[in-house]
Amino acid sequence: KGKADRIELCGNMFEGGTTPSYGVLELAREKVSIPIYAMVRPRGGDFCYDDIEFEIMKREIKLMKELKIDGIVFGILTKEGRIDKERCSKLLDLWGSSKATFHRAIDVSCNLNEACEDIISLGFERILTSGGEANTMSGIVKLKELVEKYNDKIIIMPGSGINERNIEYIKDTVKADEYHMTANKTINSMMKYRNENVFMGTALRASEFSIKYTDEEKIKNIKSKL
C-alpha cells in the first residue's frame, strides 16, 4: 500500500531479521503482487554457520522455491570475516537464480571492497549494506565510494536507519538506484487484560502490549522523495 517496489520478508526483526515461517511465506505469496525476497537466516547473531544451520538454510531455500518466492536474501562469512564463497555458491546453485541479495553480513566482514569483489564473482544481484557502520548515515562516505566503484557490476543498496528525515540527503550524497528501509510504527495491543509482570523474551525487552507494523504512510513519504 505504501508503493514499495519490493518486499524483504523477514521474521524476528528484534534480531535483525531471520527466515519467516512457512505460513508467513505462503500467505504473503498469495496476498502480495510485488516481488518478495525472503530472508534465509536460521538465527540471530553472527553469520558463520555450523553444518546443521547450513542444512537448515538449504531446506528453507527448497521451500521458497516451491512457494515461488521471487528472490532470497542471505549472507555467510568465514571465521576470519571473509565471504564464505563455497557455501554461498552452493546456496545460489540450489536456488538456481540470480535473484539473490547479499545482506548486511558484509558490514561485519573484514574488508568491504574485497567482500564486494567476492559477492560480484558469485553472481548475486545486489548487496544490502550500511557501509560497514551501524547505520547508513554513519557509513555514508563508504557507501558513496561503493556505489561509484561497483554499481555498474552489482546493485549497491544502502540500508539501516533510512527514514523520512534523511532520505533526501542520503539519495543526493550516495546516488544509489535502490534504498532499503524498515519504516515501521508501533501500535497498542488489543489486549484489555494485561499482566505486565510477565515477559516472553529476555533482557532488553519491549512491552508485550505493543506491536510493530510497517507504516504505509512512511513508505509513501519516503518514496515521494526519491
- 152 is written with which cell numbers? 555498474
Question: How is the chain split into domains, by residue range?
Answer: 7-182
- What class does CATH assign to 7-182? alpha beta
pTM value is 0.88
Structure confidence by residue, pLDDT tens digits, 44-77: 999 999 999 999 999 999 999 999 999 999 999 9
> Helix, strand, coil % (nearest 5) of the chain?
35, 15, 45
What DSSP element (H or E) covers 195?
Answer: none
**pLDDT one-digit tens code per residue, 131-172:** 999 999 999 999 999 999 999 999 999 999 999 999 999 999
How far are the Cα atoms of 11, 187, 196 from residue 210, in angstroms, in the given order? 17, 6, 12
Cα–Cα distance between 128 and 119 in angstroms, integer?
A: 11
The rounded distance, in Å, linking the Cα atoms of 150 and 169 is: 21
Percent of the chain with pLDDT over 90: 81
| Mean pLDDT value across residues 25-32 | 97
Q: Which grid coordinates are listed for 145?
A: 565510494
Q: Residue 208: is its pLDDT beyond 90?
A: no
Q: Where are the alpha helices (DSSP H) in 32-183?
A: 51-66, 85-95, 112-122, 140-150, 167-174
Question: How do residues 88-140 score in pLDDT, each as one tens digit?
Answer: 999 999 999 999 999 999 999 999 999 999 999 999 999 999 999 999 999 99
Mean of pLDDT over the chain = 94
The closest alpha carbon to 101, from 24, 43, 38, 42, belongs to 38
Which residue in 17, 34, 186, 31 sits closest to 103, CA to CA?
Answer: 17
Determine the straight-line distance between the first and last CA of the chain, rounded to whole angstroms.
17
Q: Please count the CA atoms within 13 angstroms of the CA of 116 that sit on its side-chain side.
A: 23
Strand partners, 202: none
